[in-house]
Structures are given as structure tokens and as C-alpha cells.
Amino acid sequence: MIREVPQEVIVVEGKADTQRLQVTFGPEVKTIETNGSEISLATLEEIAQAQRLFGVIVLTDPDFQGERIRRLVQAHVPDVAHAYIKREEGRGRHASDSLGIEHASPEAIRGALANRITPQVQGVAGESFTTADLQALGLVGSASAASRRQYIAEYFHIGPVNGKQLKRKLERYQISYQAVCEALEKGGYHVNKS
């Protein structure tokens, strides 16, 4: 787990997220705030510059808008790293609280950053997954598909996913069919190897 201040710049959605990182690591932590999902071209350029100088880790809320921001950043700066907290780690104490990094514990934030993952670079062929592959693994089209997907997403630290998102993320992060099989078996899930 990361205890010291990360050298990379951490992309977050807003001031409350920066404050949470300062509680976790101290005032030296470097962040870029996207100001929510309305991420500007100037902010994307700032992230690109930070990637060249320090490296960047995207740590956004575990929700639709957080994933949208990740896609926008990824399209502009393809080699950034991604760190994910689990949805339950981003829940506030009150029902009216939004889901976000600002509610995550320092341990959850450190764990997410320690397990960051970087997508494949353009031109590098990763393993492709078909719908039949995902069905064979029980990740879509089965009664236990949702729990299996959640387990795989947590195992590989790739954030919450539905069937289509899982396929894209497995390919983006070059996670092989064999690695998914092994992970499912470790989790106690039956895998049909025929």
C-alpha cells in the first residue's frame, strides 16, 4: 500500500477530492481537478503536460460521470494510469451524500493507487474477447454473471463494469482469457474448460 506522497499527479473531479487526498498524503500531493464532468480542453492539455513531466493517475468517482471523465482523459492522453475505488468505498455516511472519492477512507485511496493499472498503448495487440468467451466464463448470460463480473473487476482493480465494459477493459488492460480463468477459480467460481 502507498504510504508516501505519490510522485504522479492525480486527476480528480473536484476540490473535495483534492482535500481528501491532502488528508491522506499531506499538502504536497499534486492534483488536477476536472471540475466535474465538464472537462475543458485546457484541463486536458494540463493533464497531458503533467503526464510528460510526472506521470498521471486518474482517480475519479465510481459512477457514470467518473467513467466519462476517464474516457475523455484516456482519449487525449492514452498512457495515463487508472486507479479505482469500489462503489461501497465511495459512499458517504448519509443517504443524501453523493458517491465519490471525497468519502473514501485513506486506506481505500492508498489501496487504489497501489493497484493502479495502465491501458495498453496503441499498436500493441491485446487478447480479444468475444461474447462467447464471456458466456463461457459465466460473465454474461448466467444467473451469477453480475457477481462474477464484480469479482473480476475487483480482482484486477478495473472499476465497476457491465458486460460490454468488462470486455473493453479486459482488452484495454491486456488481461488474458487464462488470467480471468485463474482468477475465477481462485474466487471459488466454477470454470468450464472444455
CATH (domain of 39): 3.40.1360.10
**pLDDT higher than 60, residue 64:** yes
Give residue 23's pLDDT band: very low, low, confident or very high (50, 70, 90).
very high
Quick one: 25 and 103 in the same domain? yes
Quick one: 13 and 90 in the same domain? yes
Quick one: 89 and 14 in the same domain? yes
Residue 193 lies in a domain: no
Quick one: 16 and 110 in the same domain? yes
Domain boundary among 81, 114, 147: 114
Contacts of 58 (CB under 8 A, 6+ apart): 10, 11, 69, 70, 73, 74, 80, 81, 82, 83
Tell me what pLDDT residue 46 has.
96
Quick one: 35 and 92 in the same domain? yes
Quick one: 105 and 138 in the same domain? no
Quick one: 82 and 33 in the same domain? yes
Quick one: 27 and 89 in the same domain? yes
**pLDDT higher than 70, residue 126:** no
Residue 123 lies in a domain: no
pLDDT average, residue stretch 114-123: 77
Q: How many folded domains does the chain comprise?
A: 2
CB-CB neighbours of 141 under 10 Å: 12
Quick one: 83 and 170 in the same domain? no
The model's pTM is 0.80
Check the CA dihedral 189-146-58-101 and report its sign: negative
The mean-pLDDT minimum among 26-35, 64-73, 88-97, 153-162 falls in: 88-97
pLDDT in tens, 128-156: 888 899 999 999 998 999 999 999 999 99
Tell me what pLDDT residue 54 has.
96
Quick one: 163 and 99 in the same domain? no
Quick one: 107 and 144 in the same domain? no
pLDDT average, residue stretch 34-42: 88
Tell me what pLDDT residue 123 has.
46
Tell me what pLDDT residue 187 has.
92
Q: In terms of residue numbers, what domain contains 65?
A: 9-114
**pLDDT higher than 60, residue 111:** yes
